Structure 1
Amino acid sequence: MYLTQGLHRAVQQTPDAVMTICGDRQRTVKEVAERVARLAGALRGLGVKAGDRVAMLSLNSDHYHEYLLAVPWANAVLNPVNIRWSPAEIAYSLRDSSTTVLFVDDTFADLIPVLREAHPELTTVIHIGDIPQPAGALCYQDMIDAAEPIEDARRGGEDLAGVFYTGGTTGLPKGVQLSHANLFTSSLGAAASGWFVSPGDRVLHAAPMFHLADLATWYTALAQGATQVFIPAFEPIAVLTAIAQHRVTKTLLVPAMIQVLVDHPAIADYDLASLQGILYGASPIAQAVIERTMEVLPSVTLTQGFGMTELASLITVLTPEDHCDETLRRSAGRAAPHTELRIVDPDDNELSAGAIGEILVRGGHVMTGYWNQPRETAEALRDGWMHTGDLGYLDEAGYLFVVDRIKDMIVTGGENVYSAEVENAVAQHPAVASCAVIGIPDPDWGERVHAVVVLQPGSALTHDDLRYHVKALIAGYKAPRSTDFVAALPVSGAGKILKRELRKRYEPGISHLDR
């Protein structure tokens, strides 16, 4: 099992089929294969050796597609960089992984001097784009044109495929080591579930490709022989245009993207008849967003894939059929074909159905470990099970209900409150665009339930009105005891709300957000 396997299969079976679409540029399978072999030859000519890490700092494009194939073709290791990080965070990941070769596109070319200063071991920068060549950088297209194609190293199996840095929602990012077998296992599980990418699909990449959610979709599409369509980043008109112009059938979006898309006033102006399904994941979705999507796009199926970087990334699947049941919509679905699940107490004793505990996962998709962090690896991979740090429960039918991150659980007045449950209730108010619920210090309750809310444009809402709304949906002790209304929430590169950043604003000596 190796990442480039799908390309070799496509060369044999459909060499003249369109493999990539990026703007007005289309390339066939055999054209992509030729470019990948040459790019791999160029990397080898630069001195890239077996196991070396090669990074990519770029928006989505067909060049990203070529990078993902050429690096393992050259027997090296992928290191996709989070595009929403600060220069210091990017440099940290490059230093931590001992990366010496970096691809960078026009959007991030200005960071080259800063990154080189912060990480002097960054010896080679390869520029992708149309702006004048940055000083000291090599030209991507010139390298391909000048290089001789090489044979695929067929790096695979338990060999390291990539170092994928977590979003850092709870601290410094950790480099997750995933093997080719890890990624292939997750891809096969996604395909076997029957609700992801199928042969003949046209898959739109609007979510960032550095993130495992989209990368897993990319690899499943590659293995299935689908056509891959790229736009630089999510923007609602760009998504609608790409679907209509290129007859896109499937796409992966995070919930916040779905909400923006279905609420866009111009959505009815685009021919979206080709779109068959939306895959979503990476963060919880509000029931109101599901209902709105089903109303606006009635012929489009919804499939949830719950996962994490350490699991390459798929764990459970909530199928389109499951979405027809309002109760099941609140779940993350059932274990994907390649996954084994259990719920345990703090001593790792398995719990019965309905009991809340930590979610543990086992299977061939479990990471090999964290880069240069043996203690954290040993803590996460105990007794053959990945300890996810998520709290949840299984019902009698095996559906997983995720209630919170362990670190996000709020203990108020001796009661456990799961922020995800409160957030779901808050999000059902029509004036709420997005929200986060955290526990903040309280002299009487230990912690109090606190909501941070972004309102819909032109809407108004008071704390008392919001509390009244929430108490009609869940127990009164779970309702927010305080609320701040803000213009935006801090998010990671994957679209996850950074609750640690919110909590910092309520630490002693730090003034809280304006109400």
Structure 2
Amino acid sequence: MYLTQPLHRAAQQTPDDLFTVYGERGTTARETRAIVSRIAGGLKLIGVDSGDRVGVLSLNTDRFCQIVLGVAWADAVIVPVNTRWSVKEIAYSLDEADVSVLFVDDQFAHLADELRNQAPRLHTLIQCGEDKLPHAAIPWAELLSADPVEDAHRQGEALAGIFYTGGTTGIPKGVMLGHRQICVAAMGMLLAQSQVPQGGASILVAPAFHMAGFSAWIAGMLLNATTVPLPAFDPVQVMRAITEHRAKQVLLVPTMLQMIVDHPTVDEHDLSSLELLVYGASPISETVLGRAREVFTSARFLQAYGMTELSPGTAFLSDEDHDDPVLRRSAGRASAFARVRIVDPLDEEVPRGTVGEIVAAGDHVMLGYWKKPKETAQAVRGGWMHTGDGGYMDERGYVYVVDRIKDMIISGGENVYSVEVENAVAKHPAVAQVAVIGVPDAQWGERVHAVVGLVPGAALTLAELRQFCREEIAGYKCPRSLEIVGTFPMSAAGKILKRELRTMAEGGSQG
């Protein structure tokens, strides 16, 4: 099992079908195979050897996909760069991963000199956009002038990529994923469904440098779908792409999904072609989920739960399970390839219904953190990846995520799980988006603090919110302070950055 396998199949079985469409540029499977083999040939010419790390700093484009496949074809390892990072963070990841060759597209050409200065191991830049890069970078056309080479068929446990995570909360860690890990997780996403869309188009809008978007792209290739990359998220552009390409599948993070269903022009677009909508990466409120199912009436919904270290999916909630009001609050059940359990601090499994840490084992678990053996040993113990998520499992094996363990709020001696409070707050008609955090409190130790984005034209007071929440949850769980914001700090994966919210909360709450 390996990343280039779907391309070989497509080139053999449907060579003249479109493999990717980017803007006005459509590329068939036959053409893609030729491009990928020449990328690999060009990399060999500049000295890229087996196992060498090659970086790519690019938005979602057809060339991003071709580069990833070309690097694997050349028997090398891809290092996708987080496009939202600072130059310092990017340089750190490139230097740590020993990246000497970096593909750069137009949007990041202006960073070339700074990256050369701050990442001393970086000696070769390759243009993968339309504009020229400064200082003797290799043009895309020149790279493709190389003679094609045969696929190395790098596969199995061989390292496929290093995916950096955690830059928003500390020193970034490079997650090592092999070809088997990535392909098994993508196949698990397909096996979790009773029906899967074959062929058609797959909209790639979640950032492909992140494992959620990357895995969705791999799954689309496995289903013979034409990949339609979008360089940035815009709700109208996503809806237009679905309509224009009669797309069958898309992966969206909850914030993206909310922006689409709340958009004033949503009813003007024909979204009826969509057969599969995968969502995940962060919690979703039942209110947003309900609106989404009303908008995407023909789509089957699949929730994916996991993390980069799990390639990334380990549990899935099927479309049928979404019809159950209890089950749709869960993250689903372990995929066909995974084992999931809930453990206490001693790694002993706890009884069903008891909150503990969610851990997972299987062929999708990472190979480790690049150059970080201590962190690897701490995260993966006895073959089980410790997610850092708190949750419980019911008698049928459904997993309910209650909070990040480090984000659990202890107020007046009681454990309060932010997801439960967020679900209650999100039901208020004035609330468009919410995040709940714990902030220091002289009386309670910590207090439940709600950060809320309002529906346009709406207003909300703390007293009104507390009264509303008392009908949903216990009084000690209700927010004791409230902050109204226009926008939320977001990670590239679409997750609200609660660490930044805690800093903001120091001077912006209402009592």
TM-score by length of 2: 0.97
Which amino acid letter does the alignment assign opposite residue 24 of structure 1?
Answer: E
Q: Which residue of 2 aligns with 1:309?
A: 308
Asked whether the equivalents of residues 390 and 402 of structure 1 are also in contact (C-alpha less than 8 Å), the reply is yes
Deviation sequence 1:257-281 (CA, Å, 0-9, x none)? 0111111111222222211121101
Q: Which residue of 2 aligns with 1:83?
A: 83
TM-aligned CA distance change 1:160 to 1:68, over 3 Å = same
CA distance in 2, matches of 1:461, 1:105: 44
Matches within 5 A, 1:89-100: 89-100=89-100
Which amino acid letter does the alignment assign opposite residue 100 of structure 2?
Answer: T
1:208 aligns with 2:203: no
Asked whether the equivalents of residues 167 and 493 of structure 1 are also in contact (C-alpha less than 8 Å), the reply is no
Matches within 5 A, 1:344-383: 344-383=343-382
Q: Gapped runs of 5+ residues in structure 1?
A: none
Asked whether the equivalents of residues 40 and 73 of structure 2 are also in contact (C-alpha less than 8 Å), the reply is yes
CA distance in 1, matches of 2:168, 2:316: 23
Measure how far apart 1:132 and its partner are.
Answer: 4.0
1:134 aligns with 2:129: no
Measure how far apart 1:169 and its partner are.
Answer: 4.5
Asked whether the equivalents of residues 481 and 509 of structure 2 are also in contact (C-alpha less than 8 Å), the reply is no
Which amino acid letter does the alignment assign opposite residue 263 of structure 1?
Answer: D
CA distance in 1, matches of 2:196, 2:173: 29
Q: Which residue of 1 aligns with 2:270?
A: 271
CA distance in 1, matches of 2:466, 2:19: 51
Q: Which residue of 2 aligns with 1:480?
A: 479
CA distance in 2, matches of 1:100, 1:253: 33
The alignment partner of 1:131 has SS state of coil
Asked whether the equivalents of residues 197 and 250 of structure 1 are also in contact (C-alpha less than 8 Å), the reply is no
Q: Which residue of 2 aligns with 1:442?
A: 441
Deviates more, 1:134-143 or 1:190-199: 190-199
CA distance in 2, matches of 1:114, 1:426: 44
Asked whether the equivalents of residues 307 and 313 of structure 2 are also in contact (C-alpha less than 8 Å), the reply is yes
Q: Which residue of 2 aligns with 1:117?
A: 117
CA distance in 2, matches of 1:198, 1:483: 43
Deviation sequence 1:406-438 (CA, Å, 0-9, x none)? 100011111000111111111121222222111
Measure how far apart 1:91 and its partner are.
Answer: 1.2
Aligned CA RMSD, in angstroms, stands at 1.4
Measure how far apart 1:494 and its partner are.
Answer: 0.5
Q: Which residue of 2 aligns with 1:14?
A: 14
Which amino acid letter does the alignment assign opposite residue 317 of structure 2?
Answer: L
Q: Which residue of 1 aligns with 2:226?
A: 227
Q: Gapped runs of 5+ residues in structure 2?
A: none
Asked whether the equivalents of residues 3 and 69 of structure 2 are also in contact (C-alpha less than 8 Å), the reply is yes
Equivalenced residues, count: 510
The alignment partner of 1:134 has SS state of coil
Deviation sequence 1:268-311 (CA, Å, 0-9, x none)? 22222211121101111110001111222222221111111000
The alignment partner of 2:233 has SS state of coil
Measure how far apart 1:45 and its partner are.
Answer: 0.9
TM-score by length of 1: 0.96
Asked whether the equivalents of residues 272 and 297 of structure 2 are also in contact (C-alpha less than 8 Å), the reply is no
Asked whether the equivalents of residues 53 and 77 of structure 1 are also in contact (C-alpha less than 8 Å), the reply is yes
Asked whether the equivalents of residues 112 and 133 of structure 2 are also in contact (C-alpha less than 8 Å), the reply is no
Measure how far apart 1:505 and its partner are.
Answer: 4.0
Measure how far apart 1:79 and its partner are.
Answer: 0.7
Give the percent of matched residue pairs that are identical in Structure 1 and Structure 2: 53
TM-aligned CA distance change 1:233 to 1:367, over 3 Å = same
Asked whether the equivalents of residues 250 and 277 of structure 1 are also in contact (C-alpha less than 8 Å), the reply is yes
Q: Which residue of 1 aligns with 2:469?
A: 470
Runs of 4+ in 1 over 6 A off after TM superposition: none
1:249 aligns with 2:248: yes
CA distance in 1, matches of 2:503, 2:51: 39
Asked whether the equivalents of residues 128 and 141 of structure 1 are also in contact (C-alpha less than 8 Å), the reply is no
Which amino acid letter does the alignment assign opposite residue 512 of structure 1?
Answer: G
Asked whether the equivalents of residues 197 and 220 of structure 1 are also in contact (C-alpha less than 8 Å), the reply is no
Matches within 5 A, 1:161-240: 161-194=160-193, 198-240=197-239
Deviation sequence 1:233-274 (CA, Å, 0-9, x none)? 110111111111111010000001011111111122222221
CA distance in 1, matches of 2:196, 2:37: 26
